[in-house]
């Protein structure tokens, strides 16, 4: 049974609707024609995770949001290119389908600063290196992983957008997939637009 007072949460960058629509149309659609069992991320849930928090006490999450709100990050809005399609796992058995991003100093700085603030409220440190990517699907079962790999390797996806804020999301797991609800939004280089929480 889920412990009372815990909230499953993460901090992420939202993508413009135009890019999410392209990812669905150009990357997911060809894979949906395959007989393999792949769970695809819904369009509204495609995002760039800066820090997954997991199940955290509501009081800790509120404290973190307060600190994020009060902190001046000193990072101006920046352009970020979404490019490159790949997968975690082997060619015979791909597990996670993703689209990457360019290496960007501002993105790494934002991730590191958020990680410092997360740790400052007593939450665990990151258990892996920051590897920015957009998860598009998870392969549950395949008889021919090579076919999936070949489709992904033949596609060359690229798009660009301005990162001007990040969002704290609550993630509720349901039998029909996760429901992500924005709790707080922070503009880069001063200001915020906090939502109800």
Which amino acids are annotated catalytic?
47, 133
Cα(98)–Cα(133) distance, integer angstroms: 6
Report the distance separating Cα 33 and Cα 193, nearest Å.
Answer: 41
What order do you get walking across the sheet with 78-89 strand by strand?
A: 37-40, 133-141, 94-101, 78-89, 158-163
Integer-rounded Cα radius of gyration of the chain: 17
* Contact call for residues 50 and 111 (beta carbons, < 8 A): yes
Please answer whether residues 10 and 114 qualify as being in contact, where contact means their C-beta atoms are separated by less than 8 angstroms. Answer: no
């Amino acid at each position: 049974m889920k412990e009372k007072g815990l909230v499953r949460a993460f901090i992420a960058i939202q993508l413009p609707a135009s890019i999410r629509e392209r990812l669905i149309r150009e990357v997911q659609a060809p894979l949906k024609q395959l007989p393999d069992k792949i769970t695809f991320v819904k369009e509204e849930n495609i995002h760039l995770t800066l820090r997954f928090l997991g199940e955290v006490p509501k009081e800790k999450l509120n404290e973190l949001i307060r600190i994020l709100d009060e902190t001046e990050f000193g990072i101006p809005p920046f352009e970020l290119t979404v490019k490159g399609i790949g997968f975690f796992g082997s060619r015979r058995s791909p597990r996670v389908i993703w689209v990457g991003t360019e290496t960007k100093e501002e993105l790494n700085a934002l991730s590191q600063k958020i990680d410092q603030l997360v740790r400052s409220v007593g939450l665990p440190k990151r258990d892996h290196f920051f590897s920015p990517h957009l998860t598009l699907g998870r392969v549950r079962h395949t008889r021919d992983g090579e076919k999936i790999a070949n489709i992904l390797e033949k596609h060359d996806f690229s798009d660009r957008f301005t990162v001007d804020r990040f969002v704290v999301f609550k993630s509720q797991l349901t039998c029909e997939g996760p429901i992500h609800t924005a709790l707080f939004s922070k503009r880069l280089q001063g200001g915020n637009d906090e939502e109800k929480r």
